[in-house]
């Protein structure tokens, strides 16, 4: 029986996440599946049971959840982003979670280097 958890729920439960925690979380189902396959289990019944009990389904978050996750990630880095800038990102940038997390990391780097807050011009510079 697989359990379903939204990424924003998991992020909200964490008081502080390191910058790679969400990426590792997204890859967890793949890691579990590879682990089961690499065990080279000889008993078909055992393999079948592991495949039905261990999988964890992490649902692809909706855009609103992704916006909340990016906002959360930026807040953890001490940055704020306005709705206008967030909408610009979701209109002009890839919406897959890893790309968005990479963008958040670049926004953090460049905004600190240039000592500027997040703006559409800064986002354009990065994407």
Q: Are 118 and 111 in contact (CB under 8 A)?
A: yes
pLDDT on residue 33: 73
Q: Indicate whether this model's pTM tops 0.85.
A: no
pLDDT on residue 91: 95
Tell me the helix, strand and coil percentages in the chain, rounded to 5. Answer: 65, 5, 30
In 3D space, the residue among 71, 65, 54 whose CA is nearest the CA of residue 10 turns out to be: 65
In 3D space, the residue among 58, 10, 62, 14 whose CA is nearest the CA of residue 32 turns out to be: 58
pLDDT on residue 15: 41
Per domain, the residue ranges of the chain are 3-126
- Taking only the tens of pLDDT, the chain with its 127 residues reads 444 555 555 555 544 455 556 666 666 666 777 777 778 778 888 877 777 765 555 567 789 888 988 998 899 889 999 999 999 999 999 998 888 988 999 999 999 999 999 999 999 999 9
Count other C-beta atoms under 10 Å from residue 74's C-beta.
Answer: 20
Gap between the Cα atoms of 6 and 10, Å rounded: 7
pLDDT on residue 55: 55
pLDDT on residue 93: 95
pLDDT on residue 48: 78
pLDDT on residue 16: 46
| DSSP string for 59-93 | PPPPHHHHHHHHHHHHHHTT----HHHHHHHHHHS
Through-space distance between the first and last CA atoms of the chain, rounded to whole angstroms: 41
Contacts of 24-31 spanning 24+ positions with Cβ under 8 A = 25/58, 26/58, 26/97, 26/98, 28/56, 28/58, 29/55, 29/56, 29/57, 29/58
């Amino acid at each position: 029986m697989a359990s379903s958890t939204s990424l924003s729920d998991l992020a909200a439960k964490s008081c502080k996440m390191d910058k790679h925690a969400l990426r590792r979380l997204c890859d967890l189902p793949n890691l579990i599946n590879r682990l089961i396959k690499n065990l080279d289990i000889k008993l078909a019944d055992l393999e079948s049971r592991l495949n039905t009990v261990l999988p964890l389904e992490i649902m692809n978050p909706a855009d609103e959840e992704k916006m909340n996750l990016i906002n959360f990630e930026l807040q953890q880095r001490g940055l704020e982003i306005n709705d206008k800038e967030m909408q610009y990102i979701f209109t002009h940038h890839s919406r897959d979670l890893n790309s968005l997390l990479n963008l958040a990391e670049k926004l953090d780097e460049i905004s600190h280097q240039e000592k500027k807050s997040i703006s559409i011009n800064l986002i354009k510079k990065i994407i």
